[in-house]
Amino acid sequence: MTIAFYTYPKCGTCRKAKKWLEEAGTSFEEIHLVESPPSKDKLKELYEKSGLDLKKFFNTSGMKYRELGLKDRLGEMSEDEKLELLASDGMLIKRPLTTDGTHVTTGFKEAEFEQFWK
Percent of the chain with pLDDT over 70: 99
Q: For residue range 45-101, what is the model confidence (pLDDT) as tens digits?
A: 999 999 999 999 999 999 999 999 999 999 999 999 999 999 999 999 999 999 999
CB 43 within 8 A of CB 57: yes
Give me the pLDDT at residue 10, please: 95
How sure is the predictor about 1, in pLDDT bands with cuts at 50, 70 and 90? Answer: low
Residue 101 contacts residue 29 (beta carbons within 8 Å)? no
Q: What is the pTM of this model?
A: 0.93
CATH label of the domain that carries residue 111:
3.40.30.10
Beta-bridge partner residues of 104: 99
> 13 Cβ partners below 8 Å, 6+ apart?
95, 96, 107, 108
CB-neighbour burial class of residue 88 (10 A; exposed 0-12, middle 13-18, buried 19+): exposed
Q: Residue 21: give the domain boundaries.
A: 3-117
What are φ and ψ of residue 32, in 5° steps? -70, 115
Q: Is 94 helix (H, G, I), strand (E, B) or coil?
A: coil
Number of domains in the chain: 1
Mean pLDDT in residue range 18-45: 97
